[in-house]
Structure 1
């Protein structure tokens, strides 16, 4: 029987309980020699003892940074399996310099985000937010037959900002609907966009032509404030901006002005900061739907993260390599 690699969990304790429930924890124990408690602080004596022999870290939300000092105390560490999406919060350049193999459950976490986005696109085109507000105010039905040519999901235009894992999945889900899909991504050419099911478009063109724009770009120095006041001004009256990526990708002050003025609508699962302060005007905007970073894995969707991580541990322990490896040159593009 092959030797099981020594592994440890490194994440917030609550995250470990939520994501790696007892059955998953048992499977992990069968695949590896699971050492010690959940590591929430790499500086404790107990953590130092575990790190001295660990070969694999299974990480999650709340994992402390794996910097050079921590790695020096983990001479046997060869791989990290992350049970969530982005690894930018806890993996440092020292990890890549050491050649540590990295896997992420970003593909699994993309599933519920894309589902949330699809739902919001369809509801936005149906103008559910203003209709529900008007219905609540009147407590009576309005016109039985609405003839606004911009209302509905028949051949309206959806703009997707970035062909990220989530952006690509949203485009795939939109294939089942009679919607025109535009894509802006400087790394994707016209042929690849067409293969995905979208039409390649410039940034200004996408905003000017879309009824709904959905943001899926990672937050990088080059994308901070990418959705500017000038681009928002191009979005048609009554258009909707959906953001499930990062709040700072959008000029929030400009968006707030457009939404408060009643010209645009917004569905924001992320804001800058998270959470918005109590007096922020977006809270009182009838044209804004703000959700608490709900799009990502929640509830039973967390089981998908555990299943993905366990599959990766199984592959790595068998010497097969990761199915969802994060290459060193791709780490900066992760949200």
Structure 2
């Protein structure tokens, strides 16, 4: 099985891990190239690069033997609409649950403990004792929308802070609520965390009605995809100072310098980097290697997003 792995430095670790699989021939490629070589065109598997995974989309048409696309991200929205019907699309679900859940916890604590205000006081040399009203996570109710690996990792970490968590997913199951229960749950929670994939069903899910149903002074945390949130509706709510938000993703993205979201009150924004810590690329490639091993063994990879469909 010939596997295309990006030649960029972040993907070096992946080439080494995949080369250890029996029956695998790793071929490096430039994800910015317009044309593939004859050797590269004979690949069975394409792995988009660790950074900027959408860049090789245009190369799909040059891979006549391609049967499998292995992503290094949990989100598959950038590829799911372009992978042909007779190919398998597999993601790296679970690889970055640790780093992303840490970011979510840090974002909630940053807002609750009023770090943005404290840093502003620090820049002016102001000892702001009793001038900032901090809050605690203890006893807070946190609604996690998306009960995958990241959602459950967030729930586990929050339990250490004596917060109570509720999970919602696309399908109800033990200890997880279904989507029909979401509207009623919003007003019962202090924090709403988004860890769900971007799909046609979730695009614009967090609209004006969703935000209006959140309780006063609630916090919205988005670590999934910007398109899940109606940006104009969020800006309107933030300007009213009724809720606050922590965003690792936005719509549009990157966020233009003059966008009103930057200066909206009660918001902190990071540039889509919640998963990025030392060693994240190896975590992603280890999951990818396991998925490909399953495929080599004749199994359906556990992280399959799209299976082969009839053309």
Query: So what's the TM-score if we normalise by structure 1?
Result: 0.76
> How far did 1:295 drift?
0.7
> How far did 1:184 drift?
3.1
Q: Secondary structure at the match of 2:268?
A: strand
Q: Secondary structure at the match of 1:283?
A: coil
Structure-2 change in CA distance of 1:295 and 1:136 (3 Å):
same
| In structure 2, distance between residues paired with 1:39 and 1:6 | 16
2:44 to 33, 39, 55: 55
Q: Which moved more, 1:57-66 or 1:211-220?
A: 57-66
Task: Please tell me whether residue 40 in structure 1 is matched to residue 14 in structure 2.
Answer: no
> How far did 1:154 drift?
1.6
> How far did 1:130 drift?
4.4
Q: Which residue is equivalent to 1:207?
A: 186
Are the equivalent residues in 1 in contact too, given 2:97–2:149 (CA < 8 A)?
yes
Flag structure 1 segments of 5+ consecutive residues without an equivalent. Answer: none
| In structure 1, distance between residues paired with 2:79 and 2:219 | 34
RMSD (Å), alpha carbons:
3.4
Q: Which has the higher helix share?
A: 1
Are the equivalent residues in 2 in contact too, given 1:182–1:200 (CA < 8 A)?
no
Q: Which residue is equivalent to 2:155?
A: 171
Task: Please tell me whether residue 110 in structure 1 is matched to residue 88 in structure 2.
Answer: no
| In structure 2, distance between residues paired with 1:262 and 1:145 | 16
Q: Secondary structure at the match of 1:89?
A: helix
| In structure 1, distance between residues paired with 2:230 and 2:293 | 43
Q: Secondary structure at the match of 2:252?
A: coil
| In structure 2, distance between residues paired with 1:305 and 1:175 | 26
1:8 to 4, 8, 19: 4
Structure-2 change in CA distance of 1:209 and 1:324 (3 Å):
same
Q: Secondary structure at the match of 1:143?
A: coil
| Greater Rg over alpha carbons, structure | 1
2:144 to 157, 160, 164: 160
Aligned pairs, number: 304
Q: Where do 1:18-97 residues align within 5 Å? A: 18-21=10-13, 24-31=14-21, 32-35=24-27, 37-40=28-31, 44=35, 46=37, 48-51=38-41, 53-60=42-49, 61-65=53-57, 69-71=61-63, 73-74=64-65, 77-91=66-80, 95=84, 97=85
2:111 to 116, 124, 129: 124
> How far did 1:314 drift?
4.2
| In structure 1, distance between residues paired with 2:19 and 2:294 | 15
Structure-2 change in CA distance of 1:101 and 1:125 (3 Å):
same
